[in-house]
Amino acid sequence: MQETVRTQVGIVGAGPAGLLLAQLLTRQGVDSVLIESRTREYCETRVRAGVLEYGTVELLKEAGAAKRLEREGLRHNGVYLRVRGIDHPIHFRKLTGGKTITVYAQQELVKDLIALRHAKGGRIVFEAESTTVHQIEGPKPYLSCRVQGENYQIHCDFIAGCDGFRGISRPSIPEGVLQTFDKTYPFAWLGILAQVAPSSDELVYASHNRGFALLSMRTPEISRLYLQCEPDEDPEAWSDDRIWSELHTRLARSDGWTLQEGPILQKGVTGMRSFVVEPMQYGRLFLAGDAAHIVPPTGAKGLNLAAADVWVLSEAFARFYASGDRSLLDRYSEICLRRVWNAQRFSSWMTSLLHCFPHDSAFDRRRQAAELDYVVHSRAASQTLAENYVGLPFEEL
């Protein structure tokens, strides 16, 4: 038995990119169907990013998806760069004309967007197997999948590939079309979620000769902390005591400040890489988010880049359906890639500024120390960091 569905935009992936695109399209009166290979529970509990740029929060408000975020999100006015045990505040509000960031866990945003989707009667097909993209070169593309033994076909005008780095969308583009830019860093992050109130009012980025460390948070009761580690690190080789001991060492502050400990709820290793494909579109298929680009997490740009992509894409689809104008769709890659490469530049710079590279010479280490010193003592350098961290303005379309 086969069910055939007709929609305007078929969206592959019910992560934040796909869900936000669907919500933006709904607000524009454009119909869509989402297909997701995972269960709803998996999507709503998968721990990922948590730092939202100022512009991303404004976009979520515009999309009608920020009610709980505004109640529960943790607004931050800056970050601390901790160098040789001394905190150097980077005041976002002072340096950017009042802009801030908000910490709100990705899985909570996904829950909000799924609830909104269902409240509006929108369709999400979870647990879709063998999803395949068809006929993207022609005017009538479609998606096929199998759900609980039933075959589905989703016929649409366009397909949005929002299914991440390992999804099926990007590989559906013929060989030779895409140019790939890739860099793998010689370290990773060991990350934990701990049931303990954050030990700092702001995020702390710590430079230490044993490796980088980050103190972040997800809620007033849950802390998120990271340690630079080997790229092939086994998280199970790290006992809770070893993790806390290393965090105490790398996050130590010269004034006797104490890092508070609590039960570790989750731990895992995140690889560090940069990845971009150009173009981000082919025929009737448009890539967004991690399907098209990945940034190292140091600059907190991954989720925010995905939001910027789907904003451009939603505006392009809305313009097409309102007037038949394809010009914005045709320029989708050009517009998005400018922001993507700016984010790659900033994320790479932050990564090189704060991490220990295994083959650095004594000269490299002194140069890095001098750059950190310049950043924390120069208003111009601090302002550059702040402007990029809170997010560059969205482009005029």
Residue whose entry in the numeric block shows the structure tokens 């860099």: 183
Judge whether 235 counts as a catalytic residue. no
At residue 147, the 3 state secondary structure works out as strand
Catalytic annotation, pick one of 99, 208, 293, 301: 301
3-state SS assignment for residue 249: helix
Find, among 356, 349, 354, the residue nearest to 82 by Cα: 354
- Assess contact for 13 and 128: CB atoms under 8 A: no
Q: Is 297 considered catalytic here? A: yes
3-state secondary structure of 19: helix
In the set 99, 198, 297, 355, the catalytic residue is 297
Question: Please, which residues bridge with residue 278 across strands?
Answer: 179
Catalytic hit among 205, 226, 282, 332: 205
Structure tokens at 233: 């690190």
Which is the catalytic residue, given 54, 152, 332, 389?
A: 389
Assess whether 389 carries a catalytic annotation. yes
What residue type is assigned to position 248 of the chain?
H
Distance CA 214, CA 194 (A): 13
Question: DSSP label at 139?
Answer: S
Nearest CA among 171, 387, 168, 149 for reference residue 277: 171
Q: Which DSSP category does 234 fall into?
A: -
Is 231 among the catalytic positions? no
88 is catalytic: no
Catalytic residue (choose from 16, 54, 76, 142): 76
| Residues noted as catalytic | 76, 205, 297, 301, 389
